[in-house]
């Protein structure tokens, strides 16, 4: 439960005032909608989607990158996920759906922490940042270890920096 709701301070605010929680839940909801759409297309039994873009062009696909490149997205949080997904495709050549599904799962768990567990938003963000740093450290260590085993540590160590993660976290922290 939020501090404002818990202590009844919402009555002290002017009419039309909003707390910072409402936009957060709207962002989470929008990301979860994208996850649901892409998730239905994922895997060998995924469903195809009919997309009619702004120019009236019809596209039938179950490919995440095709779907994302054909739709126009105005929502800032969903645009961020779309950008990260398409960047993953451009840099790696695959995994665009995985980026959307992963972002959706992070959003889903954040919503659960906020709504059900009553964890403050700042603590959730801080926890996600710490998890990112720990994941980067673990991946860097593992890549360096594998590179040392193969004898080409210099070649593999550069691949430890995930540009998509940095892009996503950089935009969240701004």
Predicted confidence band of residue 19 (pLDDT cuts 50, 70, 90): low
Is 101 found in the same domain as 67?
Answer: yes
Is 109 found in the same domain as 24?
Answer: yes
How far apart CA 158 and CA 75 sit, in angstroms, is 33
Contacts of residue 79, defined as CB under 8 A and 6 or more positions apart, other chains included, come to 73
How far apart CA 23 and CA 31 sit, in angstroms, is 12
Cβ distance 49 to 71 under 8 Å?
Answer: no
Is 127 found in the same domain as 98?
Answer: no
- Domain containing 129 equals 120-174
pLDDT digits (tens, 9 = 90+) for 63-97: 888 888 888 889 999 999 999 999 999 998 888 99
Length of the chain, please? 174
Single out the residue of 127, 120, 126 nearest to residue 4, CA to CA.
120
Is 3 found in the same domain as 32?
Answer: yes
Cβ distance 64 to 38 under 8 Å?
Answer: yes
Is 135 found in the same domain as 111?
Answer: no
Is 70 found in the same domain as 33?
Answer: yes
Predicted confidence band of residue 160 (pLDDT cuts 50, 70, 90): very low
User: Which of 11-15, 21-25, 126-130 is the most confident on average?
Assistant: 126-130
Q: Helical H runs in 93-120?
A: 96-115
Is 142 found in the same domain as 108?
Answer: no
Q: Please say which residue of 74, 99, 119 terminates a domain.
A: 119
The 10 Å Cβ neighbour count of residue 81 is 25
Is 64 found in the same domain as 139?
Answer: no
Q: Between vectors from CA 65 to CA 130 and to CA 113, what angle results, nearest 5°?
A: 30
How far apart CA 83 and CA 126 sit, in angstroms, is 23
């Amino acid at each position: 439960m939020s501090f404002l709701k818990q202590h009844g301070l919402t009555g002290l605010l002017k009419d039309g005032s909003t707390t910072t929680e409402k936009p957060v839940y709207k962002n989470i909801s929008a990301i979860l909608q994208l996850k649901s759409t892409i998730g239905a297309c994922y895997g060998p039994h995924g469903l195809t989607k009919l997309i009619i873009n702004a120019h009236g062009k019809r596209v039938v696909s179950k490919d995440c990158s095709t779907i994302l490149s054909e739709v126009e997205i105005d929502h800032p949080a969903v645009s961020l996920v779309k950008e990260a997904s398409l960047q993953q495709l451009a840099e790696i050549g695959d995994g665009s759906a995985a980026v959307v599904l992963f972002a959706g799962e992070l959003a889903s768990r954040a919503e659960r922490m906020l709504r059900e567990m009553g964890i403050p938003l700042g603590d959730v963000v801080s926890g996600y940042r710490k998890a990112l740093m720990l994941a980067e450290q673990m991946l860097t260590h593992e890549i360096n270890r594998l590179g040392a085993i193969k004898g080409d540590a210099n070649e593999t160590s550069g691949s430890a920096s995930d540009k998509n993660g940095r892009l996503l976290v950089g935009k969240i922290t701004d």
